[in-house]
C-alpha cells in the first residue's frame, strides 16, 4: 500500500502510484463484529454504490473524481487523485469577498446534487477540493444516497452548517448564508424556504434531545 491519507471507520484512503499516475485507493475494512457473510455483502454493496453516486453527481454537473477501477474482490475503488487544497485548509484565510464567492458556488453545487435527487451525506469542507484551475470538486460519496425528501435535504445542509460552525466558526454565518444563496439559485425560493425551515426544525430537535 502507498501513503495512508485517512483512516475512517468504514474505509482507508491511500495515495498510490498506479499505471504511471497518482491515484487514490479507497479500501473498505472488514468488520470483525459483523457476521462474515453479511459483512462481505455490505462491503460489496457499498463498494459498488459509491462509484455509481459519483457518476450520477458528475451527470448532475458537479465535479467529482474520475473512477478508474472498482475491485469488488478487494472492496477497493481506484480513483483520480484531485490536485488542489481542501476548502477546509483555505477558507479561513481568504478575503471576505472570495470566501463568499466560494461558498456561493458550493451552494450551487449542493443545489445541483439535491435537484438530481442526490444526498451527499457528509457535506464538510474536508470533502471539497479547490483545484488550481478554480474548480470545486466534491469527494467522498461513501455515505451518499438517492432521495428527494425534504428531511434528507435538510439533514445534508444541517451537517454543512455544523461543519462550518466547528471549523470556520468566525465566518460560519457569512459562509452558510452564501451557501444558501447559491442553493437558492438552483433550487428556487420555495424549496429553499422549505429546506431552511426543515434545518431549523432539525436544530430544535437536537437542542431538545441534548436538553433532556
* Active site residue ranges: 122
CB distance 126 to 86 below 8 Å: yes
Q: Output the nine-digit C-alpha cell for 172.
A: 460560519
Residues sharing a CB contact under 8 Å with residue 94, sequence separation 6 or more, in sequence order: 102
Length of the chain: 212
CB distance 130 to 84 below 8 Å: yes
Cα dihedral 154, 82, 97, 93 sign: positive
Residues sharing a CB contact under 8 Å with residue 169, sequence separation 6 or more, in sequence order: none
Distance CA 15, CA 18 (A): 10
Distance CA 88, CA 67 (A): 24
Amino acid at each position: 500500500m502507498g501513503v495512508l491519507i485517512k483512516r475512517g471507520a468504514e474505509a482507508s484512503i491511500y495515495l498510490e502510484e498506479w499505471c504511471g499516475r497518482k491515484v487514490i485507493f479507497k479500501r473498505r475494512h472488514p468488520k470483525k463484529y459483523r457476521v462474515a457473510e453479511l459483512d462481505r455483502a455490505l462491503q460489496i454493496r457499498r463498494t459498488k454504490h459509491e462509484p455509481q453516486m459519483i457518476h450520477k453527481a458528475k451527470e448532475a454537473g458537479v465535479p467529482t473524481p474520475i473512477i478508474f477501477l472498482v475491485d469488488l474482490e478487494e472492496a477497493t475503488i481506484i480513483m483520480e487523485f484531485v490536485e488542489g487544497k481542501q476548502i477546509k485548509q483555505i477558507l479561513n484565510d481568504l478575503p471576505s469577498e472570495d470566501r463568499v464567492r466560494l461558498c456561493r458556488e458550493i451552494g450551487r453545487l449542493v443545489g445541483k446534487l439535491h435537484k438530481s435527487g442526490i444526498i451527499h451525506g457528509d457535506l464538510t469542507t474536508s470533502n471539497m477540493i479547490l483545484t488550481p484551475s478554480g474548480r470545486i470538486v466534491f469527494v467522498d460519496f461513501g455515505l451518499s444516497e438517492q432521495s428527494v425528501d425534504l428531511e434528507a435535504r435538510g439533514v445534508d445542509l444541517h451537517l454543512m452548517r455544523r461543519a462550518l460552525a466547528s471549523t470556520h466558526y468566525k465566518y460560519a454565518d457569512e459562509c452558510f448564508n452564501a451557501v444558501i444563496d447559491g442553493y437558492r439559485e438552483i433550487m428556487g425560493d420555495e424549496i429553499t424556504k422549505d429546506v431552511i425551515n426543515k434545518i431549523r426544525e432539525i436544530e430544535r430537535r437536537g437542542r431538545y434531545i441534548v436538553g433532556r
